[in-house]
Structure 1
Amino acid sequence: MTLCTFLDVPFNAPFYRSCGFEVIEPHGKPAALRRREAECGLDDAGRRVAMSIRFGPV
């Protein structure tokens, strides 16, 4: 599962990290989503990152 969130808001990226998510370099659809977020001005509210976690067998 992949998500995009604010890096410095305690109940965002730090919370997801405590659940096992890792910050990733976005590619494919997450990269397109990050570009769209930036175009809409969401990055003006704070640093954003893509995060990912893997469930089940690898």
Structure 2
Amino acid sequence: MNKFLAAAALVTIATASTAGSYAAPADPPVMAPVIIEEQAASSSSPSAGLVLGLTTLVIFSAALAN
């Protein structure tokens, strides 16, 4: 029990001694600007969702026909 109290006292002292020792950096970090580009959707090729939906519909209708 005495070792536990001694350890708790040392932890408390160490925490109190380092509580205000954080030195903030002089300059804030410099981050590159974020550039967002919109990609034009090509109307000549179907989207993946449309192809997946049609494929599923064809497979299920073929399964029901048999």
Larger relative strand fraction: 1
Bigger Rg, structure 1 or 2 = 2
**Same fold? TM cut 0.5:** no
TM-score (norm 1): 0.26
Which structure would you say has the larger RCO, counting Cα contacts within 8 Å and 6 or more residues apart?
Answer: 1
Larger relative helix fraction: 2
TM-score (norm 2): 0.23
